[in-house]
Amino acid sequence: FIKMNTKLNNFEEYLKNTIEDKFISLNRYKAGKPIEEIKREIFKNKKVKILKLASNENLTGVDKTILKQLQKELKNIYYYPDDSLYYLLNELEGFYKIKKENIVVGNGAVELIRYIYQILVKKGDKIFIPHPSFAIYYIDANLFEAQLITYNLMPPDFQIKYEDIKNNLDKIDDPIKLLIICSPNNPTGSIIFKNDLEKVLNYALNRNIIVILDEAYFEFVDNENYHNGLELLKEYPNLIVLRTFSKVFALAGLRIGIAFTNQYISKALNNIRLPFNVNTLAQKATILALKNYNTFVDKIKSIINQKYFLYSKLDQLKKEFNIDYIKTYSNFIAIRVKDANKVFNELLLEGIIVRPASDMNLGDYIRVTISPFKSHNELFIKKFKKVLKKI
Amino acid sequence: FIKMNTKLNNFEEYLKNTIEDKFISLNRYKAGKPIEEIKREIFKNKKVKILKLASNENLTGVDKTILKQLQKELKNIYYYPDDSLYYLLNELEGFYKIKKENIVVGNGAVELIRYIYQILVKKGDKIFIPHPSFAIYYIDANLFEAQLITYNLMPPDFQIKYEDIKNNLDKIDDPIKLLIICSPNNPTGSIIFKNDLEKVLNYALNRNIIVILDEAYFEFVDNENYHNGLELLKEYPNLIVLRTFSKVFALAGLRIGIAFTNQYISKALNNIRLPFNVNTLAQKATILALKNYNTFVDKIKSIINQKYFLYSKLDQLKKEFNIDYIKTYSNFIAIRVKDANKVFNELLLEGIIVRPASDMNLGDYIRVTISPFKSHNELFIKKFKKVLKKI
């Protein structure tokens, strides 16, 4: 190995004065543990079947038609991606009925969140967010030195309500730069009703607050009072809707997130978008997913069915183990346990990866992905029960 | 289509006051035109063979062994990428003999350049750059409102020399935040000699200037006075070396760039690195490229041989058409012509995509990728001659 930087000690002083402390002390997002990591670290590479229920992927995997076409596309990866996103934007425009001028595509939605903060948030700006919410909004607030203003969503349903948002915002005279609503919310799985959302958007518009409506889990909602953010765009120029292809569309590994918003904001976001940020296969896969949308309909149904299966199983465990869960509109479920970190670690030893929701500002809970397969969910329940008995 | 934002007019005033003008007026990087775009726009989707010599890809394409293994890997893309980059960092550490603590991986080197600016560059900071250089350094300087200080590299060789850098920097009393050296330089193809580079690094270290040494075209250099930035890291804590897998490794479509630097800088860069920024296939492909490094050796030789073939052909055209070219150490060559934009456009009509180097701050030149295939280069010369005759 090359021994690095013998002169670092002298230069370090300069770096310490030059690179702000925050860049050194920032905590990165804690991702769900990959299967390979658990194989390596816990099972010492023995042949073990590991079930990952940690990152809300669609465990039916990649559709075969899509897979085959992507395999063909691979031979072209020696060329740069199309930075103009020509075919991708055409497809998005056609599918979502939103003009391409109103669309921004990112290397995952996390890249778009970073860009939104970058064009909007200055040091000291106030960002309002029902708590808990998706961890990235907190992390990027630290990065841009925004002031986060939160209020706690309440058990049992953790629903996001207009009245709560209004009451809390009414107390703040200062301008609010951003209001962030994840619906379905992560990690609670709860939603805001359409009626309430429209009131929030009106309130926000009157106060010049830009609203990020994060609909990453849009497709999993089985509630007729739910919203479709894209339909609200026409009325609300203060609205940015986020979607992702990492969840129902089973493309998390390729990284595709989409923002829909008015032309003024989308222009700014597109201007700071890194060249070639959306890789060749991500562009192709997104097109194929939309062209084959019907193949996802049954998968969504399976996941929703499995949600009710899990409810029934968890209801049986409720009293015996003093646990509870939050009713979810998503493909994950937050389960309250006595010691979330311990349950998480014990489940790892059983080959089941979940998330301790303390990483996501929701202590005492674990967040568990709902598999479309009954066998997966049965296995989870079996192991979960075993762990609960031990604790 | 959903008609967007009827209330935008009222809200637009707020947006205009909130989103800085620069975000609206920034120009994005102009990429080399994709083959599909030329097929569509010029040849109206007729079956035409188009040759892209615009973005310095390795036209031998993706190695078959790598392609097959990536095709297998595709089935896993429903999972998120490994955000810890475990196997990738192990492979990079082993191959380059640089510890993983000193490595940062990006969604292309452009993402890393953005991060470097983000942690280092504040409004008004001075960035010094021999001119012309890679366009992204200029674009991101605009984004972060840095003050670019340039001096012109000079024909015929456009070599980057210590004396020139020193003489220019000596005139500036103010602190210089960054000094950027692309070697081989883009779009000139010229280099800095190792001797000179070390003097530059010493000079910079004494003045607390951080140096980005962009070695994107490292592998193409056939000159014994060339540097290997990785070996200089041990002496220079002010050094950041950039490499890419888009050029010789033929993985431009998957997006992989690497930064090597001291632990303090790499820690900050990694902290602001977006979650999952390196997609699953990019991670795998990089590992496979390094494991199969020997397969690239012959490809590099072919490209260098073809460079000399092109020299001989261009030498023949020199006097007849009053053109000239810059001696290159890269897989592209900058050719001076009478009207670069016209030559570019006429070549497009002939099915050959090059770059007008005016996009890259080098007027009067076109930049042409050197193909490893003689037939490609012969075709280019044939069409180029035809175009020169017309103009």
Residue A367's contacts (CB-CB under 8 Å, 6 or more residues apart) are A54, A187, A332, A333, A334, A335, A354, A355, A357, A360
The chain B residue lying nearest A21, using CA atoms, is: B268
Mean pLDDT of B63-79: 97
In CATH, which of 2.30.40.10, 3.40.50.2020, 3.40.50.970, 3.90.1150.10 is domain B30-61+295-390? 3.90.1150.10
Is residue A3 classed as helix, strand or coil in its secondary structure?
A: coil
| Predicted confidence band of residue A268 (pLDDT cuts 50, 70, 90) | very high
Q: Is the pLDDT of residue B162 over 70?
A: yes
Give me chain A's average pLDDT, please. Answer: 96
Is residue A365 classed as helix, strand or coil in its secondary structure?
A: strand
Residue A210, beta-bridge partner list: A178
Residue A126, beta-bridge partner list: A147
Tell me which chain B residues have a C-beta less than 8 angstroms from the C-beta of A79.
Answer: 34-35, 52, 55, 57, 252-253
| ipTM here | 0.97
Tell me which chain A residues have a C-beta less than 8 angstroms from the C-beta of B16.
Answer: 264
Residue A44's contacts (CB-CB under 8 Å, 6 or more residues apart) are none
CATH second-level architecture of A27-56+295-390? Alpha-Beta Complex (3.90)
Residue A21's contacts (CB-CB under 8 Å, 6 or more residues apart) are none
Q: Is the pLDDT of residue B6 over 60?
A: no
Cα dihedral value A72, A75, A78, A83, nearest 10: -10
Best probe of the A interface among B110, B255, B262, B286, by most A CBs < 10 A, is: B255
Tell me which chain A residues have a C-beta less than 8 angstroms from the C-beta of B273.
Answer: 28
Tell me which chain B residues have a C-beta less than 8 angstroms from the C-beta of A36.
Answer: 82, 86-87
Residue B332, beta-bridge partner list: B369
Residue B305's contacts (CB-CB under 8 Å, 6 or more residues apart) are none
Of all helices (H) and strands (E), which one includes residue B43? none
Of all helices (H) and strands (E), which one includes residue A25? helix A21-25
Nearest to B153 by CA among B182, B127, B125, B176: B182
| Predicted confidence band of residue A12 (pLDDT cuts 50, 70, 90) | confident
Give me chain B's average pLDDT, please. Answer: 96
b (16+ CB within 10 A) / e for A105-142: bbbbbbbbbbbbbbbbbeeebbbbbbbbbbbbbbbbbe
Both tokens of B299, joined, read: 């490809």
- The C-alpha atoms of residue A289 and residue A292 are separated, in whole angstroms, by 5
- The pLDDT assigned to A10 comes to 78
- The pLDDT assigned to B177 comes to 98
Both tokens of B324, joined, read: 């000239």
Please give the full DSSP string across A216-263, using - where no structure is assigned.
TTGGG---TT---HHHHTTT-TTEEEEEESSSTT--TTT--EEEE--H
- One-letter amino acid for residue A116 of the chain: I
| pLDDT tens-digit series, residues A293-332 | 999 999 999 999 999 999 999 999 999 999 999 999 999 9
Both tokens of A178, joined, read: 């951003």
Nearest to A131 by CA among A157, A158, A98, A105: A158
Helices (H), B322-373: 340-349
The chain A residue lying nearest B101, using CA atoms, is: A4
- The pLDDT assigned to B127 comes to 98
Burial class of residue B199, CB neighbours in 10 A (0-12, 13-18, 19+):
middle
- Chain-chain contact of B19 with A265 (C-beta, under 8 angstroms): yes
Helices (H), chain B: 8-18, 21-25, 35-41, 64-73, 86-96, 109-120, 135-143, 162-170, 194-206, 229-232, 263-272, 280-291, 294-321, 340-349, 374-390
- The pLDDT assigned to B4 comes to 60
The domain B77-291 having CATH identifier 3.40.640.10: the answer here is: yes
- For chain A, give every domain's residue range: 27-56+295-390, 65-291
- The pLDDT assigned to A8 comes to 63
Tell me which chain A residues have a C-beta less than 8 angstroms from the C-beta of B98.
Answer: 1-2, 4
The CA distance from B389 to the nearest CA of chain A, in Å, is: 31
Peptide bond into A34 cis (omega under 30): no
B178 secondary structure, DSSP code: E
- The pLDDT assigned to A2 comes to 60
The CA distance from A389 to the nearest CA of chain B, in Å, is: 31
- Evaluate whether A183 touches A214 at the Cβ level (below 8 Å): yes
First-to-last C-alpha distance (Å) of chain B? 46
| Predicted confidence band of residue A391 (pLDDT cuts 50, 70, 90) | confident
Mean pLDDT of A235-256: 97
Mean pLDDT of A260-278: 97
- Evaluate whether A55 touches A367 at the Cβ level (below 8 Å): no
- The C-alpha atoms of residue B51 and residue A156 are separated, in whole angstroms, by 62
| Predicted confidence band of residue B5 (pLDDT cuts 50, 70, 90) | low
In CATH, which of 3.30.70.60, 3.40.1710.10, 3.30.70.20, 3.40.640.10 is domain A65-291? 3.40.640.10
- Evaluate whether B160 touches B134 at the Cβ level (below 8 Å): no
Nearest to B282 by CA among B249, B248, B328, B321: B249
- The C-alpha atoms of residue B371 and residue A355 are separated, in whole angstroms, by 49
- Chain-chain contact of A78 with B62 (C-beta, under 8 angstroms): yes
- Chain-chain contact of A78 with B59 (C-beta, under 8 angstroms): yes
Is residue A384 classed as helix, strand or coil in its secondary structure?
A: helix
Q: Is the pLDDT of residue A106 over 60?
A: yes
| Predicted confidence band of residue B10 (pLDDT cuts 50, 70, 90) | confident
- The C-alpha atoms of residue A64 and residue B75 are separated, in whole angstroms, by 9
Count of C-beta atoms within a 10 Å radius of residue B171: 9
For A180, list phi and psi in degrees, rounded to 5.
-115, 120
- Chain-chain contact of B275 with A29 (C-beta, under 8 angstroms): yes
- The C-alpha atoms of residue A64 and residue A295 are separated, in whole angstroms, by 10
Residue at token pair 């997966």: A376
Tell me which chain A residues have a C-beta less than 8 angstroms from the C-beta of B86.
Answer: 34, 36-37, 40
Q: Is the pLDDT of residue A1 over 80?
A: no
- The pLDDT assigned to A3 comes to 61
| pLDDT tens-digit series, residues A340-373 | 999 999 999 999 999 999 878 888 999 999 999 9
Mean pLDDT of A120-133: 98
A27 secondary structure, DSSP code: P
- The pLDDT assigned to B8 comes to 63
Angle between helices B86-96 and B280-291 (to 10 degrees): 30
- Evaluate whether B356 touches B340 at the Cβ level (below 8 Å): yes
- One-letter amino acid for residue A50 of the chain: I
